């Protein structure tokens, strides 16, 4: 049943993956206090190099993108050097790795960088920063048109830095209610200018980031993660459907390396999507699609067989099993994931 996962997959003329199992991006909060990846992180990723593609934990593109402690960056020379060591270690084991480029928007906290929080609109999320319960979320400032242009430049620079650091490509984090996703949903985007209200306007900034990065490093090394279904830090709105209908059509024209769905459980049905995140996305996007969300190797292989998506990303089981790929291939039992495992980098 899972044998199909172990055949190579050609993303494009530049990149062929050894197998169809991707390591999903997993934030671990283990960078040093300058947000530089450590030697332990290099070992952690190298242990997982058998994945067809590792997608790095989300990496912040600039200081005001930070929403959690010790998340790595890709905007200082030391951070670029730190990632180069990670990438060298992964490549030495025959693996491939993309950097996930991140700005948390209104999920940022000034505690980490001492400045203003930016977002499409001045609408705060409720609650407190995970792992730091004393920090309540703050009301962001609605980002100006000039600041949006600067953000596009900063994403593009981070992509260039990723290539400089030896990553094989980048996955733009457009999912899970962070900055790019905040533009795509009505709950967080209340703008009345050319970045709000209509599908074309709401997709304008996300597409500008995609296009700037494609131009800078090549579309064959550029991927994107999206969450058409709002499920975390965001309320769904039936009007979001038209935004994603438009956005996905535009993305299909771009010839990205792949499109990746951002969801924790792909069994979840969304009224306004008429189904699951993957069934909706597949119906509106005909190129390489990565599925994720509480799949086992068996259920993921069955989903690929049924043409729900082309590649399978695995998250939590990869934390519990550094040798996940080998275990699945050899039919060995898996260690069950538990949240306590997040305390150390094994």
Ligand X SMILES: Cc1cc2nc3c(=O)[nH]c(=O)nc-3n(C[C@H](O)[C@H](O)[C@H](O)COP(=O)(O)O)c2cc1C
When asked if residue 26 is in the footprint of ligand X (CB under 6 A), the reply is yes
Tokens of 176: 């899970």
Residues 51-90 that bind ligand X (CB under 6 A): 57-58
| The one segment of 75-83, 125-133, 185-193, 314-322 that binds ligand X by CB under 6 A | 314-322
Q: Which of 178, 231, 280, 285 is catalytic?
A: 178
Could you tell me the CA-to-CA distances from 289 to 143, 238, 313 in Å, in that order? 31, 24, 10
Q: Which residues inside 228-287 make contact with ligand X, applying CB under 6 A?
A: 262, 264
Question: What is the closest distance, in whole angstroms, from the C-beta atom of residue 329 to ligand X in the complex?
Answer: 18
How far is the CA of 121 from the CAs of 26, 103, 125, 137, in angstroms?
A: 27, 15, 11, 14
Identify which of residues 24 and 234 has a Cβ nearer to ligand X in the complex. 24
Nearest distance in Å: CB 260, ligand X: 8
How many of the chain's residues bind ligand X (CB under 6 A)? 20
Exposure of 63 in the CB half-sphere (CA atoms within 13 A): 10
Can 178 be counted among the known catalytic residues?
yes
Asked if 100 interacts with ligand X (CB under 6 A), we say yes
Q: Answer positive or negative: Cα dihedral of 39, 222, 306, 185.
A: positive
The reply to whether 321 sits near ligand X by the rule CB under 6 A is no
**Residue 292 binds ligand X, judged by CB under 6 A:** yes
CB 143 within 8 Å of CB 151: yes
**Cβ 337 vs Cβ 317: under 8 Å:** yes
C-alpha span between 133 and 126 (Å, rounded): 12
Among 2, 18, 19, 27, binds ligand X (CB under 6 A): 27
Structure tokens at 343: 């305390």
Instruction: Say whether residue 316 binds ligand X (CB under 6 A).
Output: yes
Return the residues of window 105-134 that contact ligand X according to CB under 6 A.
Answer: none
Q: Rounded to the nearest 10 degrees, how much is the dihedral formed by the CA atoms of 211, 229, 188, 26?
A: -70
**Is the separation of the CB atoms in 50 and 326 below 8 Å?**
yes
Stretch that binds ligand X, among 18-26, 103-111, 233-241, 244-252 (CB under 6 A): 18-26
Residues marked active site are found at: 178
Binding site for ligand X (CB under 6 A): 24-27, 57-58, 100, 173, 175-176, 225, 262, 264, 292-294, 314-316, 342
């Amino acid at each position: 049943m899972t044998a199909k996962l172990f055949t190579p997959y050609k993303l494009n003329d530049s990149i062929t993956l050894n197998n169809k199992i991707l390591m999903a991006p997993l934030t671990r909060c283990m960078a040093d206090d300058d947000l530089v990846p450590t030697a332990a992180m290099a070992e952690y990723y190298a242990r997982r190099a058998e994945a067809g593609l590792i997608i790095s934990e989300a990496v912040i593109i600039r200081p005001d993108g930070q929403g959690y402690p010790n998340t790595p960056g890709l905007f200082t020379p030391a951070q670029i050097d730190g990632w180069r060591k990670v990438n060298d270690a992964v490549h030495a084991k025959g693996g491939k790795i993309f950097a996930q480029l991140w700005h948390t928007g209104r999920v940022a906290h000034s505690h980490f960088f001492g400045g203003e929080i930016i977002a499409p609109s001045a609408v705060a999320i409720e609650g407190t920063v995970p792992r730091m319960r004393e920090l309540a979320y703050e009301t962001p400032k609605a980002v100006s048109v000039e600041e949006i242009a600067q953000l596009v430049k900063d994403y593009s620079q981070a992509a260039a830095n990723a290539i400089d650091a030896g990553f094989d490509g980048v996955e733009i984090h457009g999912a899970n209610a962070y900055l790019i996703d905040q533009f795509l949903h009505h709950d967080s985007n209340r703008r009345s200018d050319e970045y709000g209200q209509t599908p074309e306007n709401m997709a304008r900034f996300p597409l500008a980031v995609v296009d700037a990065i494609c131009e800078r490093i090549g579309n064959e090394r550029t991927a994107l993660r999206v969450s058409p279904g709002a499920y975390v830090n965001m309320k769904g709105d039936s009007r979001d459907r038209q935004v994603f209908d438009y956005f996905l059509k535009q993305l299909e024209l771009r010839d990205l390396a792949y499109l990746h769905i951002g969801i924790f459980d792909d069994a979840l049905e969304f009224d306004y999507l008429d189904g699951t995140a993957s069934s909706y996305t597949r119906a509106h996007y005909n190129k390489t699609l990565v599925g994720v969300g509480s799949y086992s190797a068996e259920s993921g292989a069955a989903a690929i067989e049924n043409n729900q998506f082309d590649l399978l990303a695995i998250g939590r089981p990869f934390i519990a099993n550094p040798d996940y790929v080998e275990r699945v291939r050899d039919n060995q039992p898996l260690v069950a994931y538990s949240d306590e495992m997040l305390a150390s980098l094994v």
